[in-house]
Structure 1
Amino acid sequence: MAGKVEKVFKFVVVGGGIAGVTCVEQVSKTLEEFDVEERPSSVLEEKFPNLIVIHSAVKSLHTESHSVETADGRVFGYEKLCICSGGRPKLLTQENPHVLGIRDTDSAQEFQKRLSKAKRIVVVGNGGIALELVYEVEGCEVIWAVKDKAIGNTFFDAGAAQFLIPSLEVDKPEKTAPCKRPRYTTEEPAAGPGSALGPDWHEGIDLQGAEQVSRRVSVEYQCEVEKIQTLRLENGSWPVYIQLTNGKTFGCDFVVSATGVVPNTEPFLHGNNFAQADDGGLQVNDQMMTSEPDVYAAGDVCTACWEHSPMWQQMRLWTQARQMGWYAGRCMVSHILSEPVELDFCFELFSHITKFFNYKVVLLGKFNGQGLGSNHELLVRCTKGHEYVKVVLSGGRMVGAVLIGETDLEETFENLILNQMDLTQYGEELLNPDIDIEDYFD
């Protein structure tokens, strides 16, 4: 054990992303004193006088002695600890300087700097950041390599993908009013690694390349990366070349690796006995507690290992990081005060609101028929360039929905999923645009 314990806090929260900040806010309202490690902002200290922020990464955790050691050699004790260290990018390669992962505010700024001089980039990946990037980048040719048959398959089916694709072929419209959800931005540069990206990460960043064109995106489907090399091919003039499994090779200024994240469990595992899930996350129960006493976890670093509600699944999205952080804070306080705490209602129904290709996107429940096998049917309504509505029914009851555009159906559908009303009698009329469905089910 290095060094003497400098101070013992009732609460220590590790991580300054959305989960960590939300956890801090929840606990600070209730109790007197605690501490935050890694990637914080002074805004919180001004808001909560009982909060001490320490600008340093955690070097090691000692669960037996209830203490953490920071990178600058200081040691702090805790009564309750919450790990909110997020996820780290699954980079295609660690070695190549021409491969850039985008995960936090720092790497987003580095991306902006490189993009300003770029004429062509290759984006690899099919998740949220890839979807946002290919749409937001202008003045630069974009080759987009996805391993699936359609774009965005984490979030929607091939039908929704077909609805969105034309947006890549036209100039971006002027910014519309934002969709109704909280905004998350970074007030100031954080110390150490940047905080994880919220949904508005590209707001205020000029994603402009070196060319005069507005947007040129070509999608390479069902392929992965075979090889990345910086050796100049004959007559080659690009800094890096990427060979795909479909046999095509592209030269570009740099490659963006946007292939998802893995739970950022370093440096907590060494010397401790955390139970880990198959995906590498720290296992947590329905009180957000890990297998180590008095240690909680929230957000991308953890895996929800309680029996899930039939309409909920973990997806490591910013909305869930916020919900888990808030609930973990509540659990920590309740346990200190010996008060019972019930699993929060937000874990009853999966719901996520975001924006892709300038369309509001709402995902509810088992929106892609997750885990339902062939035991479900789909109803779809699509108006080109305006809206895409998909409903997932199982046994005549609504279990999921995808809403793209200003449909105003999310509240009604949320209620129909939660109350599990039998909708058999409505059939396809459920999506008849001439019927005001809200009147039926208010």
Structure 2
Amino acid sequence: MTDKQAKRSKFVVVGGGIAGVTCTEQFPSDQIVLLTAAPLIKAVTNFKQVSKTLEDFDVEEQPSSILQEKYPNVRVIQSAVRQLQAKEHKVQTENGEEFNYEKLCICTGGRPKLFTQDNPYVLGIRDTDSAQEFQKRLSTAKRIVVIGNGGIALELVYEVEGCEVIWAVKDKAIGNTFFDAGAAQFLVPSLETDKPERAVPCKRTRYTTDGANALSAPSGAFVISDRGVQNQALGSALGPDWHEGIKLKGAQEVSHRVHVEYQCEVQKIYTAEDFRLSQQRDSQPASEMSKVGLWPVYIQLTNGKTYGCDFIVSATGVIPNTEPFLHGNSLAVAVDSGLRVDDHMQTSEPDVYAAGDVCTACWEPSPMWQQMRLWTQARQMGWYAARCMAADLLQEPIELDFCFELFSHITKFFNYKVVLLGKFNAQGLGQDHELLVRCTKGHEYVKVVLSQGRMVGAVLIGDTDLEETFENLILNQMDLSAYGEELLNPNIDIEDYFD
């Protein structure tokens, strides 16, 4: 059989990120092919079930050979997908191979949504190579501009040292994706103070690509972002603990200097020469923030301010990686460009499934769940998609997994533990809700969302130890009207009370 002839496999998974690898791992005996664009895959390690729906785990970047050693039934092919022929149940790869499948799962994640393309001064953090490029550029930088208000931006502005950071956000408060203005106000002081020393360095092995296919594990290799950003052409997404055990330091002797510009976006980018000419043409002096030296690039914001900097980081979200699969097929695409999937993770093409950032959940969701393109949901979707593929092949019924009953997520921002539950930002509730808030400066921030006297969401920042109790109250929908503000009374041990 030549490489041009199609090879048959019961299951084919495309994508070496968390969703794809988790899906692949659920078939311990069936022959399965994993197609990945890079030699590195993402594996879940140190998994811990914190409560009914809350999960805590690490994401580790590994050579694909480790996956094959652990699961002899898995065959990993390092190649991007050129085309899907859904009617023929066939996938063609860029390296010329073809694979026939009975069931296919697309887990190709998303790529950075850069606000401008092909500008050498604008960097999008997407994979190991671009993360290393960021570290390299930062080492000689005196000022950078960060555009965006999601998970990557939140982590980035806090972790960078030795470099002034101008942070432009389009919202009235930082972290609008995760927090309300009250929580943002609780976190802002962390940007103005020196960071605490890290108690324990990260000791996990880091791998990176060296050339086209070689692997190495230098101490400087690192991974980034709380959400699964995967570029199908360039390699797997980057992990959630990028700042552990590495040095993100600029060229200055400052510890932590962040200036936030609110409610603004990028209007224009100038090279140093273009900016000088525009100032001469308009007969206007450069702004005080811009005329200190001649910066390589200048960025004009919609609030009228202009800043010079060494480079710009675009952290403005992701676009689902669907391109190789759409041509010639009838795959339905959602408004956010993700592949539409039903409650069995099936797309509109028979025997084609999707999981993680590349898909959009289009079933009628639980009142307490919403899709957010985060690591936790990538793992859950990959795991559930594998169960659905196996059940459908055996023509067995399967119910929607319990993990889709309640949105729940654990992460860390500004060195605080953060837990998000249910409709944590009152999503979709309109005016039909009330908020209870407890805040101790520098220690904890607790917000509860109530609708008709029942808890429907919560934000917990700091070591509150309330997550399991609040999870139960949201799931049980107990009427809490009688408790009023006493629900968050710090003198009442609410865990024991409701247990």
TM-score range normalised by the length of the shorter chain: over 0.9
Distance 1:362 1:436, change over 3 A: same
Q: Which amino acid aligns with 1:229?
A: Y
CA contact (8 A) 1:223 1:245 kept: yes
Q: 2:85 aligns with which of 59, 62, 73?
A: 62
The alpha-carbon deviation at position 189 of structure 1 amounts to 3.7
The structural deviation recorded for 1:34 is 3.1
Distance (whole Å) between structure 1 residues aligned to residue 24 and residue 199 of structure 2: 33
Quote the residue 2:479 is aligned against.
Answer: 422
Matching residue's letter, 2:249? Q
Would you say 1:300 and 2:300 are equivalent positions? Answer: no
Provide, for residues 149-201 of structure 1, a one-character-per-residue CA deviation record: whole Å limited to 9, x for no partner: 000010010000000000001111122579xxxx9986554966232123212
Q: Hey, what's the Cα distance between the residues in 1 that align with 2:403 and 2:493?
A: 27
Residue pair 1:184, 1:198 contacting (<8 A) in 2 also: no
Is residue 109–residue 205 contact of structure 1 (8 Å, CA) maintained in 2?
Answer: no
Q: What amino acid maps onto 1:88 in structure 2?
A: R
Aligned equivalents of 2:176, 2:12: Cα separation in 1: 37
CA RMSD of superposed structures (Å): 1.9
> What pairs with 1:272-291 in structure 2 (closer than 5 Å)?
272-291=329-348
The residue number in structure 1 matching 2:34 is 35
Which of 341, 346, 352 is 2:403 aligned to? Answer: 346
Give, as a single letter, the amino acid of the residue that structure 2 aligns with 1:341: I
Check if 1:377 corresponds to 2:434: yes
1:291 & 1:368 partners in 2: Cα distance?
A: 32
Corresponding position: 1:403 with 2:460: yes
Contact 1:30–1:333, Cα closer than 8 Å, also in 2: no
Contact 2:35–2:80, Cα closer than 8 Å, also in 1: no
- Mapped to 2, the partners of 1:237 and 1:309 lie a distance apart of 54
Report the residue type matching 1:16 in the other structure.
G
Q: What code does the residue aligned with 2:244 have?
A: E
| Correspondence 1:212 to 2:253 | yes
State the 1:105 CA deviation: 2.7
**1:100 equivalent in alignment to 2:123:** yes
How far apart are 1:241 and its partner, in Å?
0.7
Deviations 1:93-150 (A, max 9, x none): 1121110011233322211111111111000000000000000000100000000000
Distance, in Å, in 2 between the alignment partners of 1:16 and 1:204 is 24
Deviation at 1:401, TM superposition (A): 0.1
Structure 2, unmatched stretches of 5+, are: 42-63, 214-232, 277-290
User: Separation in 2 of the partners of 1:166 and 1:98?
Assistant: 30
Q: TM-score, normalised by structure 2?
A: 0.84
Match of 1:246 among 299, 303, 319: 303
The amino acid of 2:162's aligned partner reads G
Deviates more, 1:283-292 or 1:109-118: 109-118
How far does the alpha carbon of each residue in 1:375-409 deviate from its partner, in whole angstroms, 9 at most, with x for none?
Answer: 00000000000000000000000000000000000
1:187 & 1:329 partners in 2: Cα distance? 27
The one-letter code of the counterpart of 1:105 is: T
Name the structure 2 match of 1:221. 262
The residue matched to 2:179 in structure 1 has which SS? coil
1:321 aligned residue: 378
Residues 185-243 of structure 1: per-residue CA shift (max 9 Å, x gap):
86554966232123212323321111111111000000000001214233761111100
User: Which moved further from structure 2: 199-208 or 114-123?
Assistant: 199-208
Q: What is the alpha-carbon distance in structure 2 between the residues aligned to residue 367 and residue 117 of structure 1?
A: 40
Partner SS state of residue 323, structure 2: coil
1:409 and 1:185, CA in 2 relative to 1: closer, same or farther beyond 3 A? farther
Output the CA distance in 2 between the equivalents of 1:342 and 1:361.
30
The residue identity in structure 1 corresponding to 2:11 is: F
Letter in 1 for 2:313: V
Q: Distance in 2 between matches of 1:201 and 1:22?
A: 21
Conservation of the 8 A alpha-carbon contact between 1:17 and 1:85? yes
CA distance in 1, matches of 2:21, 2:148: 28
Distance 1:156 1:177, change over 3 A: farther
Q: Distance in 2 between matches of 1:175 and 1:44?
A: 31
8 A contact 1:229–1:240 mirrored in 2: yes
Deviation at 1:333, TM superposition (A): 1.4
1:33–1:317 Cα change, 3 Å: closer
Secondary structure at the counterpart of residue 353 of structure 2? strand
Structure 1: which 5+ runs fail to align? none
- 1:268 maps to 2:325: yes
Work out whether residues 105 and 201 of structure 1, in 8 Å CA contact, stay in contact via their aligned partners in 2: no
Cα distance change of structure 1 residues 184 and 421 upon mapping to structure 2, 3 Å threshold: farther
Equivalent-residue separation in structure 1 for 2:487 and 2:196 (angstroms): 31
Query: Is the contact between residue 184 and residue 200 of structure 1 (CA under 8 Å) also seen in structure 2?
Result: no
Deviations 1:263-302 (A, max 9, x none): 1111110111101111111000000000001100000100
The two structures have a TM-score, normalised by structure 1, of: 0.95
Alignment map for 1:153-164 (pairs within 5 Å): 153-164=176-187
Judge conservation of contact 2:445–2:460 (CA < 8 Å) in 1.
Answer: yes
Task: Give the counterpart of 2:138 among 83, 105, 115.
Answer: 115
Residue 85 of structure 1 deviates from its aligned partner by 0.5
